[in-house]
Amino acid sequence: MPYVLLLHGHMGAAPPHWQSWLAHELDETGCDVDVPQFSEPDQPRLDVWLAELRSQLVAAPVGTERIVLAHSCGAALWLHHAARLADPVLRFDRVLLVAPPGPRWRHPDVHGFNPAPLDAAGVRRAASWTQLVVGDDDQACSVDEAVDMASALKVDLDVIPEGAHLDGHAGYGPWPSVRDWVADRHTRMVSNR
């Protein structure tokens, strides 16, 4: 069974968010799942979250497939981590970046996350496989921004029609694609409708 680390974004990932649903689904199968709660999710600070992420990665089990699914500011957090990563021990096998904020997105309560670095070499150092998925009508990241991001990072991109920010508010509680992607990285991300 793989080890799965779920990185939430701004405001966390309480139900009905797909990360809460996925954690339960994977736990039911005996999968080792971690859902860390980063400090002050309503007012995240990049430096604090990076330190907390590093602690989580250092504590992650070895000898098994290690997978990250990161949403929104959690995806931006991963990109900042990847651009700074020098320790190969912290490398993961797979990463799914869900609805990362685009370079022009700003929020007065979110500090230091944007723009996220688009370091293709860093992303490859941080994980063997990275994939990006966005909604085609996400207010935080346009499709053009997502295409540019995927191109700069040299990663696959799935675009979900009417997916918005791919969170609980957009109807993404149960989302079989993310569960299937944990089992097989070749799974294409599709709508939960």
Q: Is 189 part of a structural domain of the chain?
A: no
pTM: 0.97
CATH of the domain at 127: 3.40.50.1820
Q: Is 35 part of a structural domain of the chain?
A: yes
Expressed as residue numbers, the domain containing 52 is 3-183
Q: Is 122 part of a structural domain of the chain?
A: yes
Q: Is 192 part of a structural domain of the chain?
A: no
Give per-residue pLDDT as tens, 34-50: 999 999 999 999 999 99
The amino acid sitting at 168 is G
* CB neighbour list of residue 75: distance below 8 Å, 6 or more residues apart: 7, 9, 97, 98, 99, 100, 101, 116
Q: Please state the rounded mean pLDDT for residues 159-179.
A: 97
The runs of H, that is alpha helices, within the chain are 18-28, 46-59, 73-84, 120-126, 143-153, 176-183
Q: What's the distance, Cα to Cα, between the start and end of the chain in Å?
A: 28
Mean pLDDT for the chain overall: 97
pLDDT of residue 91: 96
Query: Quick check: 146 and 132 in contact, CB under 8 A?
Result: yes
pLDDT of residue 27: 96
Q: Write out the two tokens for 34.
A: 């971690």
- In this structure, the dihedral spanned by the alpha carbons of residues 57, 29, 39 and 134, taken in order and rounded to 10 degrees, is 90
Q: Is 190 part of a structural domain of the chain?
A: no
Q: Write out the two tokens for 150.
A: 């995927």
Q: Is 132 part of a structural domain of the chain?
A: yes
Q: Is 79 part of a structural domain of the chain?
A: yes
CA dist 42 and 55 (Å) reads 21
Query: Quick check: 25 and 179 in contact, CB under 8 A?
Result: yes
For residue 32, pLDDT over 90 is answered with: yes
For residue 193, pLDDT over 90 is answered with: no
Query: Quick check: 73 and 38 in contact, CB under 8 A?
Result: no
Q: What is the domain count for the chain?
A: 1
The runs of H, that is alpha helices, within 7-59 are 18-28, 46-59
For residue 85, pLDDT over 90 is answered with: no
For residue 112, pLDDT over 90 is answered with: yes
